[in-house]
């Protein structure tokens, strides 16, 4: 059966036939991949709170672990082989949902997409169940399921790849572009290498080891990608053509908006350099996608990062405008929540049209001009122009 039926992991039916041939480094690689997939599942289950992508990826990790174990199931009891066949049916279909959540934000996997993934999982389980018995793989029923499954799963693999292409533009941040390119290279490389190894007779005996290595690579990469997405979340897709800026539409939204403002304006949560949308959602006691929707649709911000930077820049402006303040620009950048001076300078200039140093000089010049009416007006005007 083609690799496309299960994505970057081996097919349990094929794996059973090659179980006796798997030895040496392939057995070690498979054992390591199973251990990593199991650890991935446990880490994701332990994590609180969870985003949509992490919930789905937990399912994919468990399914990968079971699917990778299939070469060792040749002499196992029938119930165990059935469990592996069914449990290992959420690989390519589950990873499609992960890719949607990764590149579309929370809510990227809607009910219809989940139903499609479940349908493909049932198809995979039916095929594997139909081929467990002796000579079952050659039956017309199994052949028909094989053809249908290859078409469906191949389509999902292509759609997973295209998720990284969707929305590509030169305006994306460099880190986001690097993430998308890395995803496309890693995903395409794993799918093509495992497919070609299985199709070339001279190296077909290496398929189990290559599959294990690719599964290992995809698990580690996806964890890194999810970690990045936690620091740089995407705006939640909304059916509305533009964000609502008129304010809350319900008492619940008003309560959440008040709680959000309390976190920002009273507790000054934005001053925490490592603050993430997931952390703030946990403090408000709501899911991440609800907070993102509150920020974009009710508060009228473009996204979480823009809101945080706006509070930080406003705080920095107050500190820089204080003529009696002695902290350096570097100290102020850290005090308002920026981890280093470079991002602070870039964000400040993008918001205010000048550097923090020029802003401070202009504010002090204006203060001096107000205190001394005889001061040189032309100098004050020149310095004030930095604020515009």
**Which tops the pLDDT comparison, 186 or 364?**
186
* Predicted confidence (pLDDT) at residue 207 exceeds the cutoff of 90: no
What is the secondary structure of 23-46 as a DSSP string?
A: -THHHHHHHHHHHHHHHHHHHHHH
Is the pLDDT at 90 greater than 70? The verdict is: yes
pLDDT at 234: 64
Q: How many helices (H) and strands (E) does the chain have?
A: 17, 0
Higher pLDDT, 363 or 185: 185
Q: How far is CA 373 from CA 367, 368, 369, 379, in A?
A: 11, 9, 6, 13
Residue 121 has what pLDDT? Answer: 85
Instruction: Give 70-75 contacts, CB < 8 A, sequence gap 24+.
Output: 70/10, 70/11, 70/12, 70/13, 70/15, 70/16, 71/10, 71/15, 71/16, 71/18, 71/19, 71/22, 71/30, 71/208, 72/19, 73/12, 73/15, 73/16, 73/19, 74/16, 74/19, 74/20
pTM for the full model? 0.58
Q: How far apart are CA 308 and CA 76, in angstroms?
A: 55
DSSP annotation of 20 reads T
The mean pLDDT of 128-143, rounded to a whole number, is 64
The tens digit of pLDDT for each residue in 161-202 reads: 999 998 787 777 888 889 999 999 999 999 999 888 878 888
Which of 80-94, 227-241, 306-320 shows the lowest mean pLDDT across its residues?
Answer: 227-241
pLDDT of residue 230: 77
From the options 1.20.1070.10, 1.10.150.130, 2.120.10.30, 2.40.50.100, give the CATH code of 3-231: 1.20.1070.10
Q: Phi, psi (5° rounding) for residue 261? A: -65, -35
- What are the phi and psi torsion angles at 22 (to 5°)? -75, 120
pLDDT recorded at residue 139: 67
Note the pLDDT of residue 82: 78
Q: CA-to-CA distance for 194 and 32, rounded, in angstroms? A: 18
Report residue 347 as tokens: 């964000």
**What is the predicted pLDDT for the residue at 214?**
93
Q: What is the pLDDT confidence band of residue 213, given thresholds at 50, 70 and 90?
A: very high
Which of 333, 161, 303, 159 lies closest to 229, judged by CA? 303
Q: Would you list the domain boundaries of the chain?
A: 3-231, 235-302, 319-388
Per-residue pLDDT tens for 270-325?
999 999 999 999 999 998 888 988 998 888 888 899 999 999 999 999 999 988 88
Per-residue pLDDT averaged across 373-382, rounded? 48
Does residue 21 register a pLDDT over 70? no
pLDDT band of residue 111 (cuts 50, 70, 90) is confident
Q: What pLDDT score was predicted for residue 167?
A: 78
The residue count of the chain comes to 388
Long-range pairs for 367-370: beta carbons < 8 A, 24 or more residues apart: 367/323
Answer with the residue of higher pLDDT: 229 or 316: 316
Q: What is the CATH number of domain 319-388?
A: 1.10.10
% of the chain with per-residue pLDDT over 90? 35
């Amino acid at each position: 059966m083609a690799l496309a039926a299960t994505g970057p992991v081996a097919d349990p039916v094929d794996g059973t036939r090659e179980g006796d041939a798997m030895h040496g480094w392939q057995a070690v690689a498979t054992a390591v991949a199973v251990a990593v997939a199991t650890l991935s599942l446990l880490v994701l289950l332990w994590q609180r709170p969870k985003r949509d992508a992490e919930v789905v990826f937990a399912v994919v990790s468990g399914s990968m672990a079971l699917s990778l174990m299939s070469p060792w199931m040749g002499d196992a009891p029938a119930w165990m082989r059935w469990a592996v066949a069914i449990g290992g049916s959420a690989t390519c279909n589950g990873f499609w949902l992960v890719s949607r959540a990764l590149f579309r934000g929370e809510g990227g996997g809607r009910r219809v997409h989940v139903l499609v993934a479940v349908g493909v999982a049932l198809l995979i389980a039916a095929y594997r169940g139909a081929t467990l018995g002796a000579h079952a793989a050659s039956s017309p029923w199994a052949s028909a399921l094989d053809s249908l499954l290859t078409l469906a799963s191949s389509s999902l693999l292509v759609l997973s790849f295209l998720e990284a292409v969707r929305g590509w533009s030169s305006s994306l941040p460099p880190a986001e572009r690097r993430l998308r390119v890395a995803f496309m290279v890693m995903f395409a490389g794993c799918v093509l290498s495992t497919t070609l190894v299985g199709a070339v007779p001279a190296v077909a005996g290496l398929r189990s080891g290559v599959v294990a290595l690719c599964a290992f690579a995809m698990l580690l990469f996806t964890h890194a990608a999810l970690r990045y997405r936690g620091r740089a979340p995407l705006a939640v897709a909304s059916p509305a053509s533009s964000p609502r800026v008129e304010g809350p539409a319900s008492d619940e939204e008003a309560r959440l908006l008040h709680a959000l403002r309390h976190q920002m304006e009273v507790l000054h949560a934005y001053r925490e350099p490592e603050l993430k949308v997931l952390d703030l959602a946990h403090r408000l006691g709501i899911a991440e996608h609800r907070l993102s929707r509150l920020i974009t649709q009710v508060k009228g911000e473009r996204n979480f990062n823009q809101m945080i930077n706006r509070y930080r820049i406003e705080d920095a402006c107050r500190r820089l405008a204080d003529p009696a303040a002695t902290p350096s620009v570097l100290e102020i950048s850290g005090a308002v929540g920026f981890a280093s001076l470079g991002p602070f300078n870039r964000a400040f200039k993008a918001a205010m049209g000048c550097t923090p140093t020029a802003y401070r000089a202009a504010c002090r010049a204006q203060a001096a001009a107000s205190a001394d009416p005889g001061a040189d007006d032309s100098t004050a005007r020149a310095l004030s122009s930095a604020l515009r």
